[in-house]
Amino acid sequence: MAGQLVDRVALITGASRGIGRCMAELFAQEGASVALVARSADALQDVSDAIIGRGGRALALPTDLVDPDAGSAAVERAQEEFGRIDVLINNAGGSSFMAPVAESRMSGVAKTMALNFDATLRMIQAVVPGMTARGRGSIVNVSSVTALRASPLLGHYGAAKAAVVSITQTLGVELAPTGVRVNALVPGWIATDLTEFLRGDDALEASILDRVPMHRWGTPDEIASAALFLASDASSFMTGQSLIVDGGLSANP
C-alpha cells in the first residue's frame, strides 16, 4: 500500500467519532496500522471493523483516559499488537459544561483539565521512552482556537487547551535532540456531532460564523488532513509548533 504512513503505527485517542474517526480512517488509508482509543467500545469497534474491511490494520482499545492508569495500559497493549508506536495523536478532549469563569465550579474545571491536559501528558509520557529509544516519533496534540483568544463561557476549556499548546512548545524543545517531534493542531469551529446543537440554532450559528472570515464550519476531513501533515515526514522540520486550522478566526480582530 502506497501512502505517507506506510509501515508506521499510530495511536489515536478520541477515535470513535468525528475528527478522531476521520483521522483513523485517513491514517489507515495512508498505510498506518492504527490503535484506536476511546470510551465507547461499540463505536470504536465499528471504526476498527470498517478499517479492517478495507484491508487496513486496526486495534480497538476501549479506554477511559481520565483513569490515571488506563492510558499507559492502552499503550502497552498497542505495542504488544504492533511492536511499537511511531505516531501519537492526542485527540480526546472536550467540555461537559459552559459557564462564566467566575461562576465555574472547581470540580468541573478539574474534570476538564483531567481529560484535556492530564490525559494528554500521561499518554505522552507513556510513548516517549519507546520513541526516544528508536530515535524517531511524531506526537500531535489537538488543542483548540479557544486556547488563543477569549472564549466566554468556555474559559475553563480554553485554559486546558492553552496548557496543551504550552506543553507542546516545551516538549518540542526538550525532545528535539532525540528525534521525536511534538506539534499542536489547533482547530477552529468544526462541524461534528459535538457542535450540532450550535448549528441547530440559527441565531447562535450566525453569531459564530460572523467571526470566521471564511464564513463556514470546518470539516473533520480538513482537520484529519492537517493531522496527517504533522504526523508524517512532510513536516519533518517542524517541532514545538502550533498549526492553526480555523478559517481565519484567530486572525480576525
Residue pLDDT, tens place only, 218-227:
999 999 999 9
**What confidence score (pLDDT) does residue 253 get?**
83
**What confidence score (pLDDT) does residue 193 get?**
84
Domains of the chain: residue spans and CATH? 9-191+220-241 (3.40.50.720)
Among 113, 244, 100, CA closest to 183:
244
- Does 1 score more than 80 pLDDT? no
Residue pLDDT, tens place only, 109-150:
999 999 999 999 999 999 999 999 999 999 999 999 999 999
Residue pLDDT, tens place only, 8-63:
999 999 999 999 999 999 999 999 999 999 999 999 999 999 999 999 999 999 99
Residue pLDDT, tens place only, 197-218:
888 889 989 999 999 999 999 9
**What confidence score (pLDDT) does residue 2 get?**
67
Which are the catalytic amino acids? 157
Residue pLDDT, tens place only, 55-85:
999 999 999 999 999 999 999 999 999 999 9
